[in-house]
Chains A and B, each alone.
Chain A
């Protein structure tokens, strides 16, 4: 048996252990989730009633901007990287990640980057206030001086993501146990492998975009200024060439999680494994050729509109395949409804609704009415929150017993689910209505006909926000004083190598590769 973890702070600072690093990613992302959530609470509190009550419009814009940036780059992405760190080596029978020192580095550059981003709040002129999409020239010529710090933190985040993805690609390609062929890998590993390729492809594009901004702000170039021969719309093309794959970077690992959990609680193998892999790859491919559907109103020629509309609509096909496969997995299974399964069913229903509104938004002519309205806000929160965050929550409940050897409180878990589910829908469902009725997004105040639904939305947001405290409590209570679990296989229906190691998972696993039964299908 190899040595255990070092003692004290140096364990965390210098660790190269995939489990420690995974744990740090998960806690860090939860801290960011709380921070981003706090920004959201300020937004919803200001929007509780018409009129300006709590904050000034300039500060409101800083809140919407930071909420988006922190949630996307600080909460959702690192949380799935944390999950990948914990699970990928255990799922493919590897002792650790392929590049453990780089793994340490890719985590530890994140906290300073976010500290820097958060510190912009206290700078003269305030934090970035141009939305998480930071369209030029609002984010260049017209931005507060803190934009330079924003650019630097984006660079660092990008660096962290690229290193993390290289590590995942290297691990999956080189460290699989003998007999673990590609088409035997758990779907979570597959979705992450594809996600990692997306990240390596588009993060440099984002870095390019912010570098061009830096040049425009400080070095007299005019990439995004028509006055100097540039084009503000160029920024949007570059940003969304990154930004659209980015939303699949967020959702594909979530698909992977759901594909692990639904079979476990259906006690039945995942239906259509091969088609799930192909559908994921198809979605990843399509994500590169649909970016301008975020830009239907910028004044594209009609041929461009048609191309991006048709390409975007196509995404519905592989996404539909995934949903159908999940439901067929449940069909004639023996279902039980522990907390992880509840969150996955919640995901299935709400993500599908988000998919429907996504299909509606893909239709260019209709998008002329939906674009930049609250309908869009509702749409992407159905995919981001009920998609990514719900599946992440399911993952924590599902693997937590394996990680810490203790069982969470099931009643509290289920209560957390129901309050989240109800709170989420009260928050975001009415936003479809105000959006269709004409309320633009990113406004600190609104006209009177939107008052009722906004108040409802705010109440829902407070409920949803508060329910996350229960989640935090449940996780900590489990780690500190949960009921011990000793079965390797915590859930009777769970399949996969991570359930063959001891519970709690020892500090080092698979120091000698496991034997994979060649006749055994994928997990």
Chain B
């Protein structure tokens, strides 16, 4: 036990030194900043990371998310960490990082058929035959007929076969992502807080750069806070196989265009109010504008025979290049002694015709001073985008936009979860949370044609989510 305590102290001292070094580099010294006071020997009790005025402290958060969908579909592992350094006068510097690894089968957008279906996608011309095997999803390498004007890499393609009466999925999906972010905030004159932040995220076929700034002001003896946050995002999509021509027939050729971009601008206007000794409420309005490439470059939509309903073609999807969204968010926290209730409601609407409602409820129950449990439930329902089609009908004119992505269709999502927390000391906490998430939609829409009447046209998703986190405040 002695050894453990000493080792923990060494780690703490090391982190404290690193933190102090970073702060010293970023912040000029302040009177009283160096004042040291031991909080670590406090008995376990209510967590309190307010070290009081005049103290510099840091907060280290580390967590691991594990996500797994049923039926061998998408799974993800995502470790994340964040270090925040708080100076005595309210200045804050935080840096964080996220990594994730995602793999599994994902619906390609086609409808099921009473006949087996073949799909083709590009592969790299060299060395790909070794990496694409039957073990990686029943894929085979095919030779493509030479096409004038195509890239040299168009000589080979990947084909996978989906059995009859089965939801078509591509099992070759895998990706890795790494992201970094940093933020600075401080009081400025009479302004309670002003801050800036930036983030960078990179995966094998996507890159995102974000920058944001915010301003907040307290009123009424600090019972009221008004805030305004601005966000900008610049994303680049460079899908494997290139950018497909919208609504063209799916094929294994490498496309000549490799990259498309998207820009995003948004703001959040917020009002937070302490209503009573035990009731805190927050109201946010968020607006967001996205312009540019918003297609899922791997996703297709089936064209079916108008009589039999059998798919005859697979077309790459197409979405509008502009999207505006509005969110109205209301959150309430109510402290009733042994319990803390958190209830939030959100109404969302966008220019694609999607409307959604979200209700999220969590009830924290303190078990003595060192432990708590927090059961939670979430309800979500959205209507479909106005260009959502489970399939297109052959012989009819093509619409300008079409997607069969169920995430843009109408569905209901429900989540049930429970969290267990352990207040290790007044300055540190360990917690685990487990959740179950399920989507349900209309599997048999009216007007289904031929064999589609017998098929399940909503690709149900259910997932288990585990989250483990540790938080530590230190000098």
Determine if chain A interacts with chain B.
no
Could you list which residues of chain B lie within 8 angstroms of chain A, going by C-beta atoms? none
